[in-house]
Structure 1
Amino acid sequence: MNEFTLIVAGDPAQLTGGYVYDARIVEALRATGWTIDVIGLEGRFPEPDAVASHALDSALTRQPEDTLVVIDGLAMGGLPAIVERHASRLSIIALVHHPLADETGLGTPEQQRFRISETRALAAVEGVMVTSVYTARRLADFDVSADRIAVIEPGVELSPIEKNEESNAIPRLLCIATITPRKGQDLLVEALSELADLPWQCQLVGALDRADHYVAQVREAIARHRLEARIELLGSQPLERLPAFYAGADLFVLPSHYEGYGMVITEALAHGLPVVTTTGGALAHTLPDAAGIKVVPGDVSALRDAIRSMLEEPETYTRYRAGAREARETLSDWQTAAEAFGIALARFGLSKERP
């Protein structure tokens, strides 16, 4: 029977990229007859506290022998001893969106601690699912051999492009990303402050409760540059409302320092939007060259110039919009991604040799 247990850190219904990926895969697999039990763990992650440790241990203890269990990397990377404890009686698969050690803002000791911990945890599992070729290559530094990795890139929901061919009278920029240091919204505010001579509006959509100090920093920058009337911090929005944001935008901007894939990039392409982003992590691969402009992460001047060229040069904007719509035709849907996920699960789940 096609069934497995998925374990994630915290509420499975969270609207950040990794959780959305997990939910879409589960939804698509269930539609084809899979039975999937989704467990959200209490406690603090990825630097686990006692509550988190107990939650993962209890969740695995409850699983019958030989159960196929997929654990999101955020939930297991900091708890290698627990993964090791249950690995002999369960078929455990890791789902890694990006290594914990690659999170922006970590000091060297934290990076080293996560690298050691995650390397140990990944050594204990049957196989590793990743969401990009970039992350697959990155895991070589965590001693994961290529034959133990399956790359399952995200899908998209393709629907007719609702936006008119004409742009908004005042160009509307859109950034959908949790407001955290890795996403780089502070850099976007600084870049836009140097484009005050141009007409534009910008919407920042994303959770405001993950990094209070950073959110305050972004708000302060908006106020300092007197951009309150031009940059909106809209917080997290329901998934069903996001298509309207894409449809109402002229340009998508993701200034991240690093992404393990960058699902919102393909979502923007699915809506025919040209993109300005960075080459951080997998982003250099996720965005086709013909569909937008990529700059070095952290370079405010380059980000500013890329946005300016999109706003000031109609030929540049039109060329990249056409490229985005061409790229749209090459995107895969979630059902295709889920089928590949199921095939990889079967491969890894059957690989365990038991006495």
Structure 2
Amino acid sequence: MGKLYSSSPVNIALLYPGQLHTCSGGYIYNRSLLAALRKRELKVIDLSIDNKTPSQLATILEKQRISFLIQDSLAYSALTPLNLILRQSPTISILGLIHNIHSHLDHSAYSLTAEQEYLNTLNGLICVSDTIASAISSLNAEPKPCLVLNPGRPHSAPACSSERQNSESLKLICVAHLLPPKRQLELIQALAKIHEIDWQLTLVGSMMLDRNYTRKIQQEIQHHQLTSKVTCLGEVSREDLSVLYPQQDILVQPSQFESFGLVLLEAFQFGIPVVSFAEGEPKQFIKNGETGFWYPELSHLSQALAELSSPNIRNRMSEACYQQHLRWPSWSVQAERLENFMQTFLQS
């Protein structure tokens, strides 16, 4: 039983846009956090903001006697009016769960102003990475108590052998919805120039969110005559992905930016080295030459694949990845850290 419960009965709510079962890193984080808090015997409800006005949401939360409201900041512009209502009640502490800084992604003055206004309505911040915490400090919003809460270690930890099955082709996997910021199109273009290494690429992620971009990727594959080398699986279940990962040699992450990138933890869980080109947390998370490679430009892809074409190097990195996975804090540990953070608001 947690400290919050033992000090006084506390109700916690997680507020989010859309559907909680959505297949994306942010929603996987949210679901895992919910489960970990509930395992600590805390009373936690989850609530979608869809089709509810700020007044309706405020009424629901007040009836539930919520003490802590954790908000997925993806819907920050819709949450600001709600928070202005809730701030009239000093009994609710509002914590923003920050997965991304949108004004850093779209470089919009409107987004910057809207995010500053939202941050100023919060009592505290939960940032998924040091990268996000640093980005928030540059927004000139009012300083808030902040907890950096990385995703916890994936729940199931399969045994990993450093001697992975080696095949003639270097098997690459990219796990991300097909969207321009994820840069799968540029990945195809970079791979099309690599002829000295036999590779196979599997793209995993929804092909329906931006059909025009998906069409461009498919056309690029056909243009370079890569239909026998690139497989687009679309969105797959977590169970199917856990079957797919052990068949791969390398995770490739061509994204422009990743606040953390949950797929890094997933790859390390299966002992898969990562080649990332994403600004943000991957730059700090990947140990160059030990658990993979980070490069600023996709033009370095051939260099990384040449290095990783050696089975001995891949096997050594595979073991290092799995050991880092074992050292990573569990969701249970992260939930306890969050509970301790919330406890400070009750004491203040």
Tell me if both proteins adopt one fold, taking TM over 0.5 as the criterion.
yes
Q: CA–CA distance in 2 between the matches of 1:121 and 1:349?
A: 22
Q: Does 1:327 align with 2:335?
A: no
What's the CA shift for 1:140?
A: 0.5
Q: 1:97 aligns with which of 96, 99, 104?
A: 99
CA contact (8 A) 2:273 2:321 kept: yes
Distance 1:88 1:340, change over 3 A: same
CA contact (8 A) 1:270 1:331 kept: no
Question: Matched residue of 1:204: which SS?
Answer: strand
Equivalent residue letter for 1:268: A
Q: CA–CA distance in 2 between the matches of 1:148 and 1:211?
A: 37
Q: CA–CA distance in 2 between the matches of 1:181 and 1:222?
A: 16
Q: 1:104-123 CA deviation, whole Å, 9 max, x = no partner?
A: xx3x4xx2111110111111
Q: 2:43 aligns with which of 35, 53, 58?
A: 35
Q: CA–CA distance in 2 between the matches of 1:343 and 1:28?
A: 14
Q: 1:238-292 CA deviation, whole Å, 9 max, x = no partner?
A: 1222211211111111111101111111111111111100251111112233201
Equivalent residue letter for 2:341: A
Aligned length: 333
Question: Matched residue of 2:136: which SS?
Answer: helix
Between 32-41 and 18-27, report the one with greater CA deviation: 32-41
Q: CA–CA distance in 1 between the matches of 2:71 and 2:319?
A: 39
Question: Matched residue of 1:62: which SS?
Answer: helix
Aligned to 1:174: 173
Question: Matched residue of 1:142: which SS?
Answer: coil
Q: Does 1:341 align with 2:338?
A: yes
Distance 1:260 1:213, change over 3 A: same
Aligned-residue CA RMSD in angstroms?
2.2
Aligned to 1:268: 267
Q: CA–CA distance in 2 between the matches of 1:139 and 1:348?
A: 21
Equivalent residue letter for 1:8: Y
Q: 1:123-155 CA deviation, whole Å, 9 max, x = no partner?
A: 111101011111111111223566511011111
Distance 1:176 1:348, change over 3 A: farther
Aligned to 1:87: 87
Alignment TM-score, normalising by the size of structure 1 = 0.86
5+ long unaligned stretches in structure 2: 1-8
Aligned to 2:308: 310
Aligned to 2:114: 117
Between 33-42 and 111-120, report the one with greater CA deviation: 33-42
Aligned to 1:47: none
Aligned to 1:231: 230
Aligned to 1:126: 123
Aligned to 1:291: 291
Q: CA–CA distance in 2 between the matches of 1:82 and 1:35?
A: 22
What's the CA shift for 1:314?
A: 4.1
Alignment TM-score, normalising by the size of structure 2 = 0.88
Distance 1:284 1:69, change over 3 A: same
Between 313-322 and 244-253, report the one with greater CA deviation: 313-322
Q: CA–CA distance in 1 between the matches of 2:66 and 2:198?
A: 60
CA contact (8 A) 1:131 1:153 kept: yes
Percent sequence identity over aligned pairs = 23
What's the CA shift for 1:71?
A: 0.8
Q: CA–CA distance in 2 between the matches of 1:77 and 1:240?
A: 34
Pairwise mapping of residues 19-34 of structure 1 onto structure 2 (< 5 A)? 19-34=27-42
CA contact (8 A) 1:182 1:257 kept: yes
Between 144-153 and 15-24, report the one with greater CA deviation: 144-153
CA contact (8 A) 1:178 1:205 kept: yes
Aligned to 2:3: none
Pairwise mapping of residues 55-94 of structure 1 onto structure 2 (< 5 A)? 55-64=53-62, 67-77=67-77, 79-89=79-89, 90-94=92-96
Distance 1:28 1:209, change over 3 A: same
What's the CA shift for 1:194?
A: 1.3
Question: Matched residue of 2:47: which SS?
Answer: strand
Pairwise mapping of residues 7-18 of structure 1 onto structure 2 (< 5 A)? 7-18=15-26
5+ long unaligned stretches in structure 1: 43-50
Equivalent residue letter for 1:149: C
